[in-house]
Structure 1
Amino acid sequence: MNKILTLIFIFFLGQNVVGQRIMAVPTFWENWSISVMGGMYHSLKYSPNTNVVTPIAGIGLGRQLTPVLGIEVEADFLTKNRNLSMTRHPRTHLHLVCSYNLMNLFRDYKGRPRTFEIDARFGVGWGHTSVNSRTKPDQDYLVSKFGMGFNLHLGKSRAWKLAFRPMFSYDLRSDEEKMHVAYNANRGELQLNVGLVYHFKNRDGEHYISYVQPAPSIPTLERPSEKEKKQAPEKIERQIVQLEQRADHQYITKQQKQEAQQRLREQQEQEAQQRFREQQEQEAQQRLREQQEQEAQQRLREQQEQEAQQRLREQQEQEAQQRLREQQEQEVQRLREQQEQEIQRLREQQEQEAQRLREQQEQEELQRLREQQEKQTQSEWQNMTNPSWNTSQNIEDSLSLIVDFPRPTVVQSSDKIRKRQEIVVLFQENRAIVEEGYSVVLERMAALLNNNPNMRVRLHGVYTSVYKAQSERRIAIQRAKVLKSLLVAYGIDAQRIDRNDVIFQPKGAQTQWGRGVICIIEE
């Protein structure tokens, strides 16, 4: 009740402040506005938490009664939030809101809204919760809200307004057994709304309340009688009659009337001169703008024409250069094809002649190499089997195995002669260490390979036991690796040495093979 009395007192105070000026009497269809708002609300029962922040939307229709007092019907649509018990269902609030413009209340209204204004807002209304359940009916109750409004007017006409409205909204139902109206924080919410407000145009063309400027007093002429008009019409028209003005029920003097008329004439002349100057300035500015636009358009057209001519010249030059390059390329291509054909013909003739000479030389060289290789192979074999370099019993055993192999064979084909030789290098028992005395064999193998760059060597490790196949295969592989590294140390290129898979040799007459590596030398 105290709040209502306070608002009524502020209303009459605002009326007294504004009433010092003459305000235009509005019609019913003037000073109306429509607003669209949107924002969010948070329950006052809980500490700030993003999980309980819920969107809200609203629309309103209002009317400004005086520069201080305004009324508005607002409809708020609160969406549901299942995290809270009170907001589990969507709600609708309909308020009748009174707004008080604090800027116009404590500071005089100048006949035009300020760019930024603050108003206090209070409203009560009806709330409805849509339960949408067969067991529970919808709920209707009394609601109220109050807060502040921060308004930013946009544009010179003040038709649009950007509004920010922090409000406290309450469900006035109590939680006690005896129901009564109560402002309970557990049923309160903090709303933050932002939106746009549009003020409709009034009959004077403005979007706000305007004052009527008091016009200068215009004296009324005392009309002469018909008899006097007939007697002296010219004299009566030139005569200054008494002017009557009712101001506190007193008559004004002739001098006051003349002064009022003089002020009116001066004001009209000033307004006419002002309008004439403004019109001349507008015409001069208009002519200047038109002249500047014409010059700018002329410069733009000239620039566009120059650019078009430049692009056309560049395009023509590019096309001429392109055609010239294509012609040159075609001519060069034709000459190149002729040269290639001539070169191809000469190359074919040379190849035919070279092929004939090569075949003749190959036949002669083949015959000579066949004879020379046979002599060289026999000489090397005799040197390797010469008892003078047998330094141990193991070497004798290895050479006996070499003797058992066929002599170096020369395989003749249609285009080449291939030479092949097999040698066995023995290692210590169950170890990857070459037997003493086999350095001479390795040296001679290296000399044979160095003297014949076209020859390659293949290494095959040998194992003889079936029961110890895994361990003996591993030792045989290690022995082949060791032998390859020894040959590389003697200067043989590693790419000429092939280390192939191991060979299984059953135990028999040549049991020493189980601890040896077979070296196959061939072209």
Structure 2
Amino acid sequence: MKKLFTLMAAALIAAGASAQTVQESKTFDNIYVGVNGGVATKTTGNAWLKGLNPNFGVRVGRWFTPVFGLAVESNAYFSNKPFASTGTAVRFLNTSLLGTVNLSNWFGGYKGEPRSFEVIPVAGLGWGHIFGHNNERVGSKDFDYRNNLTSKLGIDFAFNFGSQKQWQAYVEPSINYGLNDNTDRVNYNLSNAGMKYNINHSYVQLNAGVVYKFKNSNGTHNFNIVKPYDQAEIDQLNSTINDLRDELAKKPKEIVKEVVKEAPASQEVKVENLVFVTFAQGKSFLTKEAKKALDAVKSGKHVQIVGTASPEGSKEVNDRLSQARADEVAKYLKKNGVVVDEAIGKGVQGTTSNRIAVVYVK
């Protein structure tokens, strides 16, 4: 027992050491759907290769963190082997609620996108239903053993692929228990009285499947890592913004031309009319601080938006990223009733541009 607690403590320490801060998920983020199929056979009491039972299933799941998730899976079994025929095309249906644990991310840390290969144990409880007539009369009572509580223990060997790792193929060996199963009572005299894991009331299964991970609110199909900033970085960023404000105050005509179109001659462009939104390197999603700054723009106001990028990366990447930043700001402002006259990306703009979007409020 002492060794068990030691191993558990070591696992928790490893998980904590490899933990990463990921972007907060919205309700419908990190959802996937997939299909699987394979063969199953009774664990005991028959020759495995002579009693193979084909099955097909559907799985829908969600990852709440890069390590932990839940999935609902339902599999239909088509053969009666090694049991007596039920007279139906589908003999058995098993529907389970499964917990999923990504061991690769737990012990290796999440690096911003899935690995090409991952190991994911799955385990949970379910409901099993046998089709056909399965009542048995014993003495003066009728026993109905068409329904029973099930439990699945398995492990997925998963391969992620696609341009954004949005697809995943996996091979899954598993063992499935009938916890209160009495279906063998007549043929094998192996009643499973009560609720227990009994290998004589289980079947082993080998399935292969593929899942598709839907696109998230962060623009990818997986979790994004949020870069943690220490106080020194925050102070430096605030200093950069203040320096930029000072420079704009001293030379409004020269600098504003770089980020917004020339205002009408009768209208003076003031620093107070500009809202600055900062972004993480290589990202275009809005932070809580950015949204707070944009909330100051009142509904009904007309604005022009220019997104910019820092010098890292190619011109093509920076142009695309700056436009994405301008579009994200425009989308948020439109939801608040602000009229967006123009939202453009200008890539890298001089030496004062540092992953920002500038909103000119008219």
Deviations 1:81-110 (A, max 9, x none): 154259887111111111111111111211
* CA shift for structure 1 position 237: 4.7
**Gap change, CA 1:12 and 1:28, over 3 Å in 2:** farther
Q: Which runs of 5+ in 2 are unaligned?
A: 137-142, 183-189, 251-279, 282-306, 320-362
1:128/1:140 contact within 8 Å kept: yes
Specify the code of the residue in structure 1 equivalent to 2:155: M
Specify the code of the residue in structure 2 equivalent to 1:207: H
Aligned partners of 2:312 and 2:224: how far apart in 1?
26
* Percentage of matched positions with identical amino acids: 25
**Gap change, CA 1:160 and 1:9, over 3 Å in 2:** farther
Aligned partners of 2:30 and 2:120: how far apart in 1?
17
**Gap change, CA 1:118 and 1:10, over 3 Å in 2:** farther
Per the alignment, in what secondary structure is the counterpart of residue 24 of structure 1? coil
* CA shift for structure 1 position 214: 4.0
Q: Aligned residue for 1:192?
A: 206
Deviations 1:117-150 (A, max 9, x none): 1111111111111124688856211100102100
Q: Aligned residue for 1:147?
A: 154
TM value normalised by structure 2: 0.56
* Alignment counterpart, residue 219 of structure 1, candidates 225, 235, 238: 238
Aligned partners of 1:222 and 1:208: how far apart in 2?
31
Residues 118-517 of structure 1 aligned to structure 2 (within 5 Å): 118-132=119-133, 137=144, 139-173=146-180, 179-214=193-228, 216-217=233-234, 218-219=237-238, 237=249, 271-272=310-311, 274-276=313-315
Q: Which runs of 5+ in 1 are unaligned?
A: 224-233, 239-263, 281-523
**Gap change, CA 1:78 and 1:10, over 3 Å in 2:** farther
Q: Aligned residue for 1:102?
A: 103
Specify the code of the residue in structure 1 equivalent to 2:58: I
**Gap change, CA 1:103 and 1:134, over 3 Å in 2:** closer
* CA shift for structure 1 position 198: 0.5
Q: Aligned residue for 2:21?
A: 22
Aligned partners of 1:222 and 1:272: how far apart in 2?
17
Aligned partners of 2:224 and 2:247: how far apart in 1?
44
* CA shift for structure 1 position 47: 5.1
**Gap change, CA 1:36 and 1:272, over 3 Å in 2:** same
Per the alignment, in what secondary structure is the counterpart of residue 217 of structure 2? coil
**Gap change, CA 1:222 and 1:76, over 3 Å in 2:** closer
In proportion to residue count, which structure has more helix?
Answer: 1
Q: Aligned residue for 1:498?
A: none
Of the structure 1 ranges 133-142 and 205-214, higher mean CA displacement relative to structure 2 is found in 133-142
Aligned partners of 2:44 and 2:86: how far apart in 1?
12
1:52/1:84 contact within 8 Å kept: no
Q: Aligned residue for 2:41?
A: 42
Specify the code of the residue in structure 2 equivalent to 1:28: T
Q: Is residue 51 of structure 1 aligned with residue 50 of structure 2?
A: yes
Please report the RMSD computed on the Cα atoms of aligned residues, expressed in angstroms: 4.0
* CA shift for structure 1 position 173: 1.6
2:192/2:198 contact within 8 Å kept: no
Which structure is higher in RCO with an 8 Å CA cutoff and minimum separation 6? 2
TM value normalised by structure 1: 0.40
Q: Aligned residue for 2:118?
A: 117
1:14/1:68 contact within 8 Å kept: no
Deviations 1:176-221 (A, max 9, x none): 8893211111111111111111100001111111111346523279
Aligned partners of 1:30 and 1:184: how far apart in 2?
38
Specify the code of the residue in structure 2 equivalent to 1:65: F
Specify the code of the residue in structure 1 equivalent to 2:132: V
**Gap change, CA 1:148 and 1:195, over 3 Å in 2:** same
* CA shift for structure 1 position 156: 2.6
**Gap change, CA 1:269 and 1:13, over 3 Å in 2:** same
**Gap change, CA 1:160 and 1:79, over 3 Å in 2:** same
Q: Aligned residue for 2:186?
A: none
Per the alignment, in what secondary structure is the counterpart of residue 272 of structure 1? coil
Specify the code of the residue in structure 2 equivalent to 1:26: S
**Gap change, CA 1:214 and 1:172, over 3 Å in 2:** same
Per the alignment, in what secondary structure is the counterpart of residue 105 of structure 1? helix
Per the alignment, in what secondary structure is the counterpart of residue 16 of structure 1? helix
Specify the code of the residue in structure 2 equivalent to 1:219: N
**Gap change, CA 1:105 and 1:64, over 3 Å in 2:** same
Aligned partners of 2:196 and 2:135: how far apart in 1?
30
Per the alignment, in what secondary structure is the counterpart of residue 113 of structure 2? coil
Q: Aligned residue for 1:515?
A: none
